Amino acid sequence: MTMEIPRVAVEFMNSDHDHAAEQLADMLAALPTYGAAPAALAEACRAFLDHNREHFAREEEAMQATGFPPYPVHKQEHERALAWLADFTAGVAAGSPDADAVNRVVGQEIPAWFIQHIQTMDFVTANWIASH
pLDDT tens string 70-124: 999 999 999 999 999 999 999 999 999 899 999 999 999 999 999 999 999 999 9
Report the chain's C-alpha Rg in angstroms: 15
- Residue 1's pLDDT is 53
Element (H, E) at 31: none
- Residue 88's pLDDT is 98
Residue 54 in contact with residue 36, Cβ under 8 Å? no
What would the CATH number be for the domain defined by 11-131?
1.20.120.50
Closest CA relative to residue 22, chosen from 50, 38, 44, 53: 44
From residue 26, alpha-carbon distances to 22, 45, 55, 68, 122 in Å are 6, 9, 18, 33, 23
The half-sphere exposure of 61 on its side-chain side, counting CA atoms within 13 A, is 8
- pLDDT tens per residue across span 8-38: 999 999 999 999 999 999 999 999 999 888 9
- Residue 89's pLDDT is 97
- Residue 2's pLDDT is 67
- Residue 35's pLDDT is 86
Count the neighbouring beta carbons within 10 Å of the beta carbon of residue 111: 17
CA distance 109 to 7: 20
Element (H, E) at 81: helix 71-94
The half-sphere exposure of 87 on its side-chain side, counting CA atoms within 13 A, is 8
Determine the average pLDDT of the residues in 37-51: 96
